[in-house]
């Protein structure tokens, strides 16, 4: 049955589709008892279980239950059926802040209001041990009164996920907004990384463009690592000092939230507001969090894959060391046991060519999920993993699992590379 226009759990009337992603769709909804408008995020359980994201969803629920703040999109309740998970969220109908800044820079007083509300929300999140890790205008919504609401805690981390060194180690976020310590694969302080992203947001709102931008991704990362950016002439003088202190590439000397709150530009016109909303945990939230075992309980066994087959820029960086990607996509790798290549081919063509190659060399073939191939015989074993960088652009990682090293290099140069056409 099409969910659009239906009734969910006899509690919510579902209306028009507001947006969708790879694993979820968001609908406008109406509480049948109170008439209140809500946004209902419908997540396909089969899809998230297939890619091992159930713990990811449960963490997002835990995080949102911790954050009850007027400048954070509120999670009212969570429900689940055998096939779907439903997040019932505050309905924020003003759209994304991105839509406003896409038309050009904003007025200073408007920017100041948004930034004050952003820092208020982030300060509260950090006080609860929550780090957003993907702050950008697309994740900042506006209500019908023009107040900012932080949304999308899908990449957030809890303080309990830190390692013994007290730092986070997972690379994530959106490249242009991410802190330099994340790019260079250091352990990082989640609060300081969030502050950097807030600084990029502030620059964008006042300037109308990104401080760090380049058509070459690695060149952009170098600019971020060195904090190489220029203020436009129209940039407010007092705000320059604040942005410069936030966009400090050294997290140890970067300004803190407490110091931002005392900065003269920030304090001017600051309106105090309650730091926390009084909201009760609903029965359905308790069910989903695992406090009760029934048909709505999300705690269930699921296969978690060791490696995702869809890569973003941060996955690529995590496979390298720091910003040094020299030789990463070619055959100059110092390790004789592996090779990485970029291919401009559909994955089906790549696998077909590998199968034909194995047949010509009398090698047995084993496939897993259609994106990992293993070839072997009595003297050699080779593993191929294929990662999607973007549509029809793939990274293929070739590894020698066993057998003669010289034979492996000979097959690489004389058979594998000639077979895989369109190497970038």
Summarize the annotated binding site as residue ranges.
41
- Cα 98 to its chain centre, rounded Å, is 17
Q: How far apart are CA 155 and CA 60, in angstroms?
A: 8
Look-up of token digits 């050699």: 380
Rounded CA gap, 62 and 128, in Å? Answer: 12
**Beta-carbon contacts of residue 156 (< 8 Å; ≥ 6 apart):** 59, 60, 63, 125, 130, 131, 132, 133, 134
Contact 376, 363 (CB under 8 A): yes
Q: Are strands 7-8 and 12-20 parallel, antiparallel or unpaired?
A: antiparallel
DSSP 160-229: GG--TTS-B----S-GGGS-HHHHTT--B-HHHHHHHHHHHHHHHHHHSS-SS--SSHHHHHHHHHHT--
Q: 11: which residues sit within 8 A by CB, 6+ positions away?
A: 31, 32, 33, 79
Which letter does DSSP use for residue 363 in this model? -
Parallel/antiparallel/unpaired status of strands 12-20 and 140-142: unpaired
Known binding residues for ATP: 41
Closest CA to 381 of 361, 367, 402: 402
- Is there a catalytic annotation at residue 165? no
* CA–CA gap between residue 169 and residue 182 (Å, rounded): 8
Paired residues of 178 in beta bridges:
none
Please identify which of the residues 2, 134, 349, 410 carries the catalytic annotation: 134
What positions carry a catalytic annotation?
A: 134
């Amino acid at each position: 049955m099409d969910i659009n226009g239906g009734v969910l759990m006899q509690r919510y009337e579902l209306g028009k589709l507001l947006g969708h992603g790879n694993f979820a769709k968001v609908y406008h909804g109406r509480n049948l008892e109170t008439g209140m408008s809500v946004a209902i995020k419908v997540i396909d359980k089969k899809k998230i279980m297939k890619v091992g994201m159930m713990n990811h969803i449960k963490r997002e629920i835990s995080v949102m239950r911790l954050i009850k703040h007027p400048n954070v999109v509120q999670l009212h309740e969570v429900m689940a059926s055998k096939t779907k998970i439903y997040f019932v969220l505050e309905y924020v109908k003003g759209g994304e802040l991105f839509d406003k800044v896409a038309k050009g820079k904003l007025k200073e007083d408007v920017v100041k209001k948004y930034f004050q509300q952003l820092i208020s929300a982030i300060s509260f999140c950090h006080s609860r041990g929550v780090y957003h890790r993907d702050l950008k205008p697309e994740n900042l919504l506006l209500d019908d009164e023009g107040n900012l609401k932080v949304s999308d805690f899908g990449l957030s981390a809890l303080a309990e996920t830190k390692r013994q060194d007290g730092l986070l180690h997972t690379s994530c976020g959106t490249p242009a907004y991410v802190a330099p310590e994340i790019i260079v694969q250091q352990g990082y302080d989640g609060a300081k990384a969030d502050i950097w992203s807030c600084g990029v947001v502030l620059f964008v709102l006042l300037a109308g463009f990104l401080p760090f931008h380049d058509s070459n991704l690695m060149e952009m990362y170098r600019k971020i690592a060195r904090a190489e950016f220029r203020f436009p002439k129209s940039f407010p003088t007092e705000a320059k000092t604040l942005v410069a202190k936030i966009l400090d590439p050294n997290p140890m000397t970067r300004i803190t939230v407490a110091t931002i709150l005392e900065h003269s530009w920030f304090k001017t016109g600051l309106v105090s507001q309650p730091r926390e909303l009084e909201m009760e945990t609903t029965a359905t939230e308790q069910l989903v969090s695992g406090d009760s075992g029934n048909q709505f309980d999300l705690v269930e066994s699921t296969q978690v894959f060791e490696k995702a087959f869809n890569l973003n820029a941060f996955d690529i960086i995590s496979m390298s060391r720091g910003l040094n990607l020299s030789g990463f996509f070619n055959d100059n790798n110092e390790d004789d046991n592996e090779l990485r290549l970029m291919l401009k081919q559909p994955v089906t063509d790549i696998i077909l060519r590998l199968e034909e190659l194995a047949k010509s060399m009398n090698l047995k073939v084993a496939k897993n999920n259609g994106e990992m191939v293993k070839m072997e015989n009595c003297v050699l074993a080779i593993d191929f993993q294929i990662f999607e960088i973007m549509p029809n652009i793939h990274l293929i990682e070739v590894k020698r699992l066993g057998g003669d090293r010289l034979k492996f290099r000979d097959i690489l140069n004389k058979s594998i590379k000639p077979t895989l056409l369109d190497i970038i």
